[in-house]
Amino acid sequence: MTLTPAHLTKIRQVVRSCGQQAKALSAQKYEIFQKEPGDFVTTVDQTLDRQLSEFFSHLFPDDGIITEENAESRKCYQANYDRLWCIDPLDGTQDFIHGDPDYAVLVGLLEHQSAIAGWIYAPEQDMLYYGGKTLGVWQCNGDQEPEPCEVPKVRLDSYRVIIGDKDFRNTAHQISASIPEIEFLRSPGSFGLKVMNVVLGKANVYLYLNRRVKVWDTVAPIAIAQAAGLVCRDLEGNPIHYSPEVLDLESLAHQQAIVIGQINAVEALLPRLKAILDPQILV
């Protein structure tokens, strides 16, 4: 089944609606639970998870749905679905809890284990980005009509690299000592918004090394990044993909380190990164 204009309109509306609910609820009292050390969930995550699951199950009844807050839904990955909707109701929950603006609603579509479409909505900016293999890349400000998302070229007189806090602590000194032309940029909490900063030309590369990110975090941004002409690879130069041998099948965490960026920047940096990074610090 192709995504029709009517489908796209409905998806934009529900993703924005859920994000606006999150923004409104952030000012109210909600509960916080710890799923595991350093990994939190709120009653806002849970509420939006249920709403998005219900919406996509009704709109696409023949497809599977995997959401972050429904552990049972992970079984859909190994079921016989051609298409899987991968949903993170709040990407960047800790940012949401701390009152920081860098959280997002993510919805991604896997088809035959390939990321083919994605939606990333930043509630605090009221900005939606979406795109995919046959869609191009689009942005919507508020309830305005979508506009093509321009993807600027970034000069390569230096490498502007987005990196998360944990990877920065573990690897930044080692990388900077060997590749001094890298300029590290501190980044938003959401994986999706980090990738969008590369898509929008604010950086050349996003480097994610610690192998904790899950499929519901990556499908949407990788689909958009690829539609924008970026490459998504591991440190060996292999494409980031979603086949069983590169995922932890219980948690659906990626077992590949992830490098997303402009092809010339990624190809220049990968051999140098691989040569200096100790695999033991990437876990």
Taking residues 258-280, report their average pLDDT: 88
138 and 14 share one domain: yes
144 and 14 share one domain: yes
Which residue, 125, 148, 171, sits at the end of a domain? 148
Domain containing 268 equals 159-282
**Domain membership flag for residue 246:** yes
- Percent of the chain having pLDDT more than 70? 96
Query: 9-26 pLDDT, tens per residue?
Result: 999 999 999 999 999 998
Taking residues 172-198, report their average pLDDT: 91
Tell me the C-alpha distance between 212 and 215, whole Å: 10
Which residue, 148, 181, 206, sits at the end of a domain? 148
- CATH of residue 77's domain is 3.30.540.10
Query: 58-72 pLDDT, tens per residue?
Result: 999 999 999 999 999
Q: What's the total number of domains in the chain?
A: 2
What pLDDT score was predicted for residue 45?
94
**pLDDT band for position 280 (cuts 50, 70, 90):** very low
Residue-averaged pLDDT of the chain: 92
48 and 167 share one domain: no
What pLDDT score was predicted for residue 155?
66
105 and 211 share one domain: no
Contact predicate 73/86, CB 8 Å: no
Q: At what angle do helices 191-199 and 215-227 cross, to 10 degrees?
A: 10
Beta strands 104-111; 83-91: pairing state: antiparallel
- CA atoms lying within 13 Å on the CB side of residue 245: 0
Query: 82-117 pLDDT, tens per residue?
Result: 999 999 999 999 899 998 999 999 999 999 999 999
**Domain membership flag for residue 240:** yes
Query: 28-44 pLDDT, tens per residue?
Result: 889 999 887 778 899 99
121 and 220 share one domain: no
Which residue, 148, 168, 185, sits at the end of a domain? 148
Model confidence, pTM: 0.94
**Domain membership flag for residue 206:** yes
215 and 139 share one domain: no
What pLDDT score was predicted for residue 165?
86
9 and 130 share one domain: yes
Query: 187-225 pLDDT, tens per residue?
Result: 768 999 999 999 999 999 999 998 889 999 999 999 999
Tell me the C-alpha distance between 198 and 195, whole Å: 5
**Domain membership flag for residue 277:** yes
- CATH of residue 203's domain is 3.40.190.80
